[in-house]
Amino acid sequence: MAKATIRDIDVKDKRCFCRVDFNVPMKDGRITDDSRIRAALPTIEYLAARGAKVILASHLGRPKGKVVPELRLDAVALRLSELLGMKVIKLNDCVGPEVSVYVSGMSPGSVVLLENVRFYPGEEKNDPDFARDMASLADIFVNDAFGAAHRAHASTAGIAAYIPAYAGLLMEKEVEALGRLLENPERPFTAVIGGAKVSDKLAVLKNLLDRVDNLLIGGGMANTFLMAQGHAVGKSLAEPSMVDEARAILEKASLGGKKVLLPVDVVVARSPEAGVPASVVEAGEIPDDMMALDIGPGARKEYVSAVRSSKTVFWNGPLGVFEVEPFRGGTLEMAAALAGVTGFTVVGGGDSLSAIEMSGLRDKIDHLSTGGGASLEFLEGRELPGVSVLIERN
C-alpha cells in the first residue's frame, strides 16, 4: 500500500495511540464472537514486542455520546488479556488527568485499553479539542480499525492532525486485499452480491460492474432485479422504487459484455420461519402468497460454476435467509464454492462472515474483511477518512 505502516518506523519507547475495532457482539455481558479482537492481535503484539507503550482505543455499540454501563469495555479487556497472555489494564476514561498520569507511567511493551470512545460527544462530531486531548497521550497514531475507517471521527481521523499517523497491520492487509480487487484482479473476476436491499449496495454494484466479468446477485435484492425483468415476486422482500436502477444495471452489463446472473429458481415459503413448508419454483412463477427466501438448486448450480471457474472472487451478502435452516442452502453452497477457488478470494460483511464460520471454511478463504460498511465504501471507489489521514510512504 502507498501508506506508511508501523513497519516503517522505530516504535521503541514510543507512546502509540492505536485505534482498533473492538465493536464485538455482546449478550448478557459476554462476548459472543471475538473475531475482531483476534484480528487486531498482530498489530498489538508487533508494537508491544518492539517496546512500544500501546494505548488502545475502540468504540462499542452506539451510546451516542453518553455513558452506557453495558457498553463499557471491561469484558473486552479481559478477553484481550487472555489472548495476549498478559494483563491489559482498562481505564475508565479516554482523556483527562488520571489517564495522562497512567500513560506517563507505562513501561515499554505494556498495553492499556481506554474506555469506549463513543461515550464522548466529541468522538462522532470529530471535535478538535477531543482529538487534541487524545493526541496529547501519544507520540504517534496507529490506525488499525479498518471497520471504522469510513467514519471521520476524532479517534479515526481527527487525531491525525496532531500526531503522525501510520497504518496498523490489519489496516495494511485490508487496504491491500481490497485494492487488489480494484486495481489488477486476475481474471475472470466474479462478484457475488447478496443481502436485503439494492439501495444499500447500489454504488458498489455500479462500481464493480465496471471491473468484474461476472456479477452474481442473490438475497432479497435479487427480487428487485427479477421485478426489473418483469417477474412478479409475490410477498417477497423487494424495492419497487429501485426497479429502474436495477434495470439500468442490467442494460449496462449487457452493453458492456458483462454477465449478470439472477436466480433461475428460488426456494419459497409463506414466511421465513423454521418448520414452514418450503418448495422450489422457477423465478418467474413465485405464487402471490409466497416469499422467495433462498436461491434454488438450478441457480446454485449456475452460481457455483461461475465462481469455480473464476480467478478472483469477492462475496458480500448472503443469498437467502441463511439464519433459518430451510433457507441456507444457497449461502452455504456459495461458501463451499469459494473454498474451492484456486485464485484470490475475499469475503466481506457480517452475515457473509457468519456464513463462512457456519460452514467451517474460514481457513480456505484468502481474506476475510472486517470492514463491513468500510469495505463497501472502499469498493465504491470512495476515499475513507481513516485511510486518507495516514502518512504517505516515501
Q: State the residue for C-alpha cell 458498489.
A: 204
Catalytic residue flag (residue 275) = no
Does this chain's domain 6-172 share its CATH topology with 185-379? Answer: yes
- The active-site residue, picked from 50, 125, 187, 197, is 197
- The active-site residue, picked from 179, 298, 373, 381, is 373
**Amino acid present at 188:** P
Question: What confidence tens digit (pLDDT) does each residue in 26-53 have?
Answer: 999 999 989 899 999 999 999 999 999 9
Q: Which CATH architecture has domain 185-379?
A: 3-Layer(aba) Sandwich (3.40)
Q: Output the pTM of the full model.
A: 0.90
Helix (H, G, I), strand (E, B) or coil at 189: strand
- The active-site residue, picked from 3, 15, 36, 151, is 36
Q: How many CA atoms lie within 13 A of 376 on its CB side?
A: 20
What are the cell numbers at 368?
A: 476475510
- Distance of alpha carbon 49 from alpha carbon 148, whole angstroms: 26
Best CA proximity match to 370, nearest among 33, 30, 31: 33
The low-confidence residues of the chain, meaning pLDDT below 50, are none
- Sorted by where each begins, the domain ranges of the chain are 6-172, 185-379
Best CA proximity match to 369, nearest among 379, 358, 380: 379
Q: What is the predicted pLDDT for the residue at 1?
A: 57
In terms of C-beta density within 10 A (0-12 exposed, 13-18 middle, 19 or more buried), how is residue 150 classed? buried
- The active-site residue, picked from 350, 362, 364, 382, is 350
Tell whether omega for the bond before 188 is within 30 degrees of 0, i.e. cis. Answer: yes
- CATH dotted code for 6-172: 3.40.50.1260
Other residues' Cβ atoms within 10 Å of the Cβ of residue 333: 20
- Distance of alpha carbon 250 from alpha carbon 156, whole angstroms: 37
- Distance of alpha carbon 158 from alpha carbon 137, whole angstroms: 14
* Angstrom distances, CA of residue 143 to CA of 8, 96, 172, 294: 14, 22, 10, 38
Q: What is the predicted pLDDT for the residue at 370?
A: 85
Catalytic residue flag (residue 350) = yes
Q: State the residue for C-alpha cell 418467474.
A: 284
Best CA proximity match to 336, nearest among 345, 327, 324: 345
Q: What is the predicted pLDDT for the residue at 354?
A: 86
Q: State the residue for C-alpha cell 462472515.
A: 353
Best CA proximity match to 133, nearest among 109, 168, 169, 158: 158
In terms of C-beta density within 10 A (0-12 exposed, 13-18 middle, 19 or more buried), how is residue 187 classed? middle
Q: What is the predicted pLDDT for the residue at 394?
A: 75
In terms of C-beta density within 10 A (0-12 exposed, 13-18 middle, 19 or more buried), how is residue 180 classed? middle
Q: What is the predicted pLDDT for the residue at 287?
A: 96
